[in-house]
């Protein structure tokens, strides 16, 4: 039993009764969360495609700086204690009031500090236009943390349909704020105010959907254990944000805000696998893995299934992004952003590796190994900073992308492989076997799609033909594994069975025909 589980109030359950229920609830939650992420992501792509034709690259670069500052500060706004509410092996009703008090007080202090430091931070990056966006995003810190406990309650209950509804409502309010303001004020400020509007809408929707709302309270006996559990996770999240955003800081110091704008666009596109899967993992992995641990389930096979599931979705997105970076940017965002295409091709691989890292982060938190997560992130940061500094000087934006990939392959993934093995028994062999088929299928699909579109000049035609050809090739290789991702009722639908297993059936028919009447033997 871990230190956190011994110190914080726990709950008991019947493993046999909980197993099937947990699997059903987790799958339902994953589908809702995936739908939410996909709908919101595609909607954001549409809005960003419109905004990219209004704002300049320099304005997006300023917003990137402000958003990086917000990401760092937000890590300590709740001190990581809300994760305790999401764990099914802990008593949320006893912890809720104390967690609420900690998050409310800390968020106000942290946000005020962020607003006061906006001027010096902007001056350090020679970007005075960033002062107001930073201060606006300080308001977002308070809003997000005030809804953090309700979000953890929804996560715990696997009520991801509420999160879906909240995200859609938040997107509507955020977009309705962004597009008009982008034509009237500085683009970075318009983006920041849209985050305020979206955060308010999401928070209110979640709070109003809860059956139980925790009022501020205080039980001193829980504060120490909560902080011992949460602070390493918060520091780990901070280090994760540093790993994620240190490139923004380095580019901001070494290059122009326009270059930073190009890089941010490419980086956001490369994280499409995370957009599709990150929300699912954040909402489902923590409660599901903690429940498997509580019930003494098979963690090794659970890790294998989780890695395979992530790879089946992330690898084809990364392969397509790598192969069609130029037509993708030109079609969606316009020709003035084509400078971002070369670095996007490099960052496509980073997007796949990053989403796997998020999965491992969640497994570490669910296993109570927050110190391990901290050590991994600290090690990565120490290695990453000099690599990125050399990369930006030698290769500009592309050099930064290559630096990210080298750091992940040389440090992050080996470190996580060791940590995951110790926590769950799933070693590097288990992880590589789960990854191999989706990765090879994605490479094959991207290669065939490139060959099929070689003679096309229209970027939209390239995307359409390449996407269709790549999809057919990918499904032909991993179809049966894809079919396993669907719930039972959908997986039994004839159209899905035919779409995902036709290559196997065709091969079987050919073998039977060869045995029955081999023409070369007649």
Q: What is the pTM of this model?
A: 0.72
Q: How far is CA 245 from the centre of its chain?
A: 14
Which pLDDT value is given to residue 401?
Answer: 92
Alpha helices in 52-130 (DSSP H): 57-74, 83-86, 92-116, 118-124
| Cα gap 471→474, rounded to integer Å | 5
Which pLDDT value is given to residue 517?
Answer: 44
Contact 424, 302 (CB under 8 A): yes
Contact 163, 31 (CB under 8 A): no
For the chain, how many helices (H) and strands (E)?
Answer: 22, 0
Which pLDDT value is given to residue 283?
Answer: 57
Rg (alpha carbons) of the chain, rounded to whole number: 24
Domain boundaries, the chain: 17-218, 256-465
Which pLDDT value is given to residue 467?
Answer: 92
Contact 483, 492 (CB under 8 A): no
CA max distance for the chain: 87
273: tokens are 């696998």
- The secondary element (H helix, E strand) that includes residue 334 is none
Q: Which residues of the chain fall below pLDDT 70?
A: 1-38, 80, 86-90, 158, 236, 275-276, 278-291, 293-297, 370, 482-522
- Nearest residue to 248 (alpha-carbon basis) of 383, 409, 60: 60
Which pLDDT value is given to residue 520?
Answer: 37
Residue 339: count other Cβ atoms within 10 Å of its Cβ.
18
Residue showing tokens 């894809």? 482
């Amino acid at each position: 039993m871990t230190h956190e589980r011994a110190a914080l109030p726990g709950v008991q359950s019947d493993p046999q009764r909980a197993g099937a229920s947990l699997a059903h609830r987790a799958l339902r939650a994953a589908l809702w969360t995936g739908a939410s992420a996909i709908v919101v992501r595609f909607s954001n792509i549409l809005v960003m495609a419109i905004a990219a034709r209004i704002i300049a690259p320099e304005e997006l670069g300023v917003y990137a700086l402000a958003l990086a500052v917000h990401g760092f500060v937000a890590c300590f706004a709740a001190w990581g204690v809300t994760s305790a509410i999401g764990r099914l092996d802990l008593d949320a009703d006893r912890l809720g009031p104390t967690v609420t008090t900690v998050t409310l007080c800390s968020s106000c202090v942290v946000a005020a500090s962020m607003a006061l430091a906006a001027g010096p931070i902007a001056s350090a990056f020679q970007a005075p236009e960033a002062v107001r966006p930073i201060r606006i995003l300080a308001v977002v810190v308070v809003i997000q943390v005030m809804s953090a406990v309700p979000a953890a309650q929804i996560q715990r209950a696997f009520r991801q349909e509420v999160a879906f509804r909240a995200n859609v409502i938040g997107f509507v309010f955020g977009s309705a704020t962004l597009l008009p303001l982008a034509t009237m004020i500085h683009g970075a400020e318009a983006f920041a105010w849209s985050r305020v509007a979206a955060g308010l809408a999401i928070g209110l929707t979640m709070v109003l959907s809860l059956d139980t709302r925790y009022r501020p309270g205080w039980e001193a006996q829980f504060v120490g254990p909560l902080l011992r559990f949460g602070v390493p996770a918060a520091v780990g999240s901070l280090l994760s944000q540093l790993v994620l955003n240190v490139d923004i800081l380095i580019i901001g110091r070494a290059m122009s805000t326009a270059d930073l704008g190009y890089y941010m666009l490419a980086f956001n596109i490369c994280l499409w696998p995370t957009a599709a899967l990150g929300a699912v993992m954040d909402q489902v992995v923590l409660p599901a893995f903690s429940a498997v641990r509580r019930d003494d389930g098979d963690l090794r096979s659970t890790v294998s299934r989780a890695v395979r599931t992530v790879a089946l979705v992330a690898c084809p997105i990364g392969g397509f992004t790598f192969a069609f970076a130029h037509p993708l940017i030109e079609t969606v965002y316009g020709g003035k952003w084509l400078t971002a295409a070369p670095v996007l091709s490099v960052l496509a691989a980073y997007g796949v590796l990053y989403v796997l890292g998020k999965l491992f982060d969640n497994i570490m938190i669910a296993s109570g190994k927050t110190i391990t997560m901290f050590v991994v992130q600290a090690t990565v940061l120490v290695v990453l900073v000099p690599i990125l500094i050399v990369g930006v000087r030698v290769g500009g934006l592309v050099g930064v992308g290559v630096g990210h990939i080298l750091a992940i392959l040389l440090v992050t993934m080996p470190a996580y492989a060791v940590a995951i093995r110790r926590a769950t028994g799933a070693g590097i062999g288990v992880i590589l076997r789960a990854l191999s088929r989706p990765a090879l299928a994605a490479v094959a699909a991207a290669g065939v799609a490139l060959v099929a579109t070689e003679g096309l000049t229209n970027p939209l035609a390239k995307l359409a033909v390449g996407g269709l050809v790549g999809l057919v090739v990918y499904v032909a290789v991993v179809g049966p594994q894809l079919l396993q991702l669907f719930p039972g009722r959908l997986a039994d639908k004839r159209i899905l069975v035919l779409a995902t297993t036709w290559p196997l059936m065709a091969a079987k028919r050919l073998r039977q025909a060869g045995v029955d009447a081999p023409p070369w033997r007649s």
